Amino acid sequence: PALGGCRFIEYDNETDALVDALRLARGMTYKAALAGLNHGGGKSVIIRPRTGFNRTNLFRAFGKFIGDLRGRYITAEDSGTSIEDMDVVRSVTEHVTGVDPARGGSGDPSPFTALGVRRGIEACVRFALGRQSLDGIHVSVQGVGHVGYHLCRELHAAGAQLTVADVDPLKSERAQREFGASIATLDEIFSIECDVFAPCALGSALNRTTVPQLRAKIVAGAANNQLAVPTIGEDLRQRGILYAPDYAINAGGLVNVAQEVIGYDADKARARTMKIYDTIYEIAERAQKAETRTDIVANKIVEERLAKL
């Protein structure tokens, strides 16, 4: 079955919501295949109402819709949704993951996503900088919400130096208080001189405007659909910036909830997430040998697997 989270944010119109769902679902197809998970790619979006609404009733209705799909799609958390929302969904259908551990679920998948991103950053740092650890490595993190916060925690524990930016100043201040991070504005974060730029907000962070500003040697973050258009990957390569394909590096959360589908075991989920290091390093090596973009190499690995199904 397809497996992927439910995004609950404001959209200007239904077309934008549909395009986002399709892009995210395609990314989940590639993410699952590259991670060796036997799940199709799926995502759902709910257009967040601009006026008052009953959240419990909304997610109960969503759960009934998921139930009508009879297991062809299993939902989970994503931007704008929470464990509590998934618990409401679980009250009307079993086809949901990321519910409260007290109810047999695995809880918030964000820490596993962050773990995988940290492992991917370690692989990039070794490949591009010849460093075996993150001690002293400067990472600029764009977005310190659920995943970005946990990534900062992982990086801080590994000895990295942090600069953060978020649309919510309270989240930046929390990272400063807990991890000693420096705070930049949303406009400044792209041009900070650093070793690694980690996009952890919504998609399309890497575009014709932002890429020329980058002063990082590596781009490796948790956001989905980081490249506004695929050709941005070539712009990064031409500038000598190593790019960790988003769906390859941020697969930890999916790995975690996929384990929940077959019987949750945190140790197994963690062990599989740790292997993201090997995946990212292999992609970087193959791209270097082929003198091509890392995202092209990642796509080729996926397509080779899908062709065998």
Q: Per residue in 265-288, pLDDT tens?
A: 999 999 999 999 999 999 999 999
Judge whether residue 102 has pLDDT over 90: no
- Average pLDDT, whole number, for the chain? 96
- Does residue 128 contact residue 110 with C-beta atoms inside 8 Å? no
Q: How confident is the model at residue 309 (pLDDT cuts 50, 70, 90)?
A: confident
Judge whether residue 171 has pLDDT over 90: yes
For residue 138, what pLDDT is reported?
A: 98
Among residues 43, 171, 217, 268, the one annotated as catalytic is 43
Alpha helix locations (H) across 71-208? 83-90, 110-129, 146-157, 169-179
| pLDDT tens per residue across span 15-47 | 999 999 999 999 899 999 999 999 999 999 999
For residue 70, what pLDDT is reported?
A: 95
Crossing angle between the packed helical segments 146-157 and 110-129, to the nearest 10 degrees: 50
Q: Work out the average pLDDT over 252-259.
A: 95
Strand stretches in the chain, DSSP E = 2-3, 6-9, 40-41, 44-47, 73-74, 138-142, 161-165, 182-183, 196-199, 218-219, 242-243
43: annotated active-site residue: yes
Q: How confident is the model at residue 103 (pLDDT cuts 50, 70, 90)?
A: confident
Decide the pairing of beta strands 44-47 and 182-183.
unpaired
Q: Work out the average pLDDT over 219-233.
A: 95
Instruction: Extract the tokens encoding 103.
Output: 């109810």
| pLDDT tens per residue across span 131-158 | 999 999 999 999 999 899 999 999 999 9
What's the whole-model pTM score?
A: 0.92
